[in-house]
Every structure is written in C-alpha cells, then in structure tokens.
Structure 1
Amino acid sequence: MFRSVAGGTPGGRSQGRVVGEPRSARPYAHPVPSYRVRVVPGVLHRGVDPAAVLPAAIEAAGERTTVEAGTVEVVRGEPRITVRYEALDDQTASDVGRAVVARVGELVVVETSRVTRRSGARWYPMR
C-alpha cells in the first residue's frame, strides 16, 4: 500500500505528511530511517507470472511496515527488484528484508539480496 504525501517544499522535497492526516496523527515522533532490500532474481519457478513478483515483494514488506516505493530495474543486463520501506531500527529492517526475500524466493530463484540503510543521500549495507 502506497501513501500519498503532502506538504512538499518549493524544491519538491516532501515533509512526509500523509494527505488528509493531521500532523498529530503521524505514527513516529522523530524521523524514521529509510531502508531498502534489493533482490536479484534468477529463474522463475514453474507457472509464475513475472508480473506477480514485484507486487508480492511489496505486499510482504507492507504487512510489516510502511512501504515507500517498489521498483524493477535492469542494471548491467540483470533484473533487480528494490523495495524501499521505513523501520524503527536495524533489527526490524532486517526482519522485513528477510520476509521480502522469502516471499520472492517462493516465486523465483533468488540470486542475491541485500538490505541497506539510508544516511543522507547514500545507502550503506547493514552489518
């Protein structure tokens, strides 16, 4: 489930308020770190529709936290599924990442996966 965000600044940056939601109803008192899990999928399991993989990954994360975005890209000839989400701490983020990888693994062979945490404009691997 994606949430529409309002309250952007003139530079186009979002302040993270959900449309129609009063500021006091925001679930966190402080900014919540952003994480992402990237999965490089391999061969599809028999009978799996390729279009079902990204929605399944987003749903797996969405059952546990707020999903910020989900994309499929082709990088250097390899497909890559990315799900970006919020989590209160690194342990929760790791749990969400494992759930996404497990769900994707039911549909395709997972070649590699990695959970990263955003710090400023950069993404750093979880330890």
Structure 2
Amino acid sequence: MPSYRAVLQITGLRPGCPPERVMAAAKEAVASVHLVEADQIDIVRGIPQITVRFLVEAANEPEEIAAARRAGLIMQDSVEDVATTGRLQVLRRSRGRWLPV
C-alpha cells in the first residue's frame, strides 16, 4: 500500500481548545478513511506544522492520489474546528523520497 503524508501548518488555536486536541483531531480524521502509520509535530521557520502519515489502498496512481488529497482535506476540515490553519501539503513516498502530489 502506498504511503502518504498530509502536512498542515497550524497558525493558532481556537478559544478553549487545548493544543493536544489539534493532533487528536487530525489523526481521527485521517483514521476515518485510511490506516494512520505515524504522526509528528514540527516547527518550521517558526510555524508549527503537524504531519500525519497514512496508507492508501493500492489502486491506479490517479485514484490513490485523489484519495490521499481527500484525506488531507478531511484532516484540514477537522483541525479547523480546534485551530486555524495555513498551507496543506500532501506528499507521496516514492523511491525513498517524499514528493508533492
């Protein structure tokens, strides 16, 4: 099964929402459609970003990419309930590298 990453910038928290709820919302959203492999939080150029790595059922490449993009949008929509977000990237693992889709 192909491995993908959804990477989302977090620009702020909604009032009353604890920081740990951001990653929980992201993982729950992606897990509702795909198997989640891992997650992490990084600070890139002073901006927090969350990464959720997940597997997509094998199909033809355009279908896999479409499913991965949908998962990223589902994740962003769910996280928007608890935080404000910035840029979303979806990447695919290919020959040892993560490439944007």
Shift of 1:51: 1.1
Q: Secondary structure at the match of 1:37?
A: strand
- Give the aligned CA root-mean-square deviation in angstroms: 0.9
Question: Which aligned runs of 4 or more in structure 1 are off by greater than 3 angstroms?
Answer: none
Amino acid at match of 1:49: P
Higher gyration radius (CA): 1
Count of aligned residue pairs for this structure pair: 95
Greater share of strand residues, 1 or 2?
2
- Structure 1 runs not aligned, ≥5 long: 1-31
Identity of aligned residues (%): 35
Partner residue, 1:65: 34
Give 5+ residue unaligned stretches, structure 2. 58-63
Tell me the SS of whatever aligns to 1:54.
Answer: helix
Q: Which residue of 1 aligns with 2:87?
A: 112
Structure with greater proportional helix content = 2
Cα deviation, residue 76, structure 1? 2.4
Looking at structure 2, the residues matched to 113 and 66 of structure 1 have their Cα atoms a distance apart, in angstroms, of: 19
Larger relative contact order (Cα-Cα within 8 Å, sequence gap ≥ 6): 2
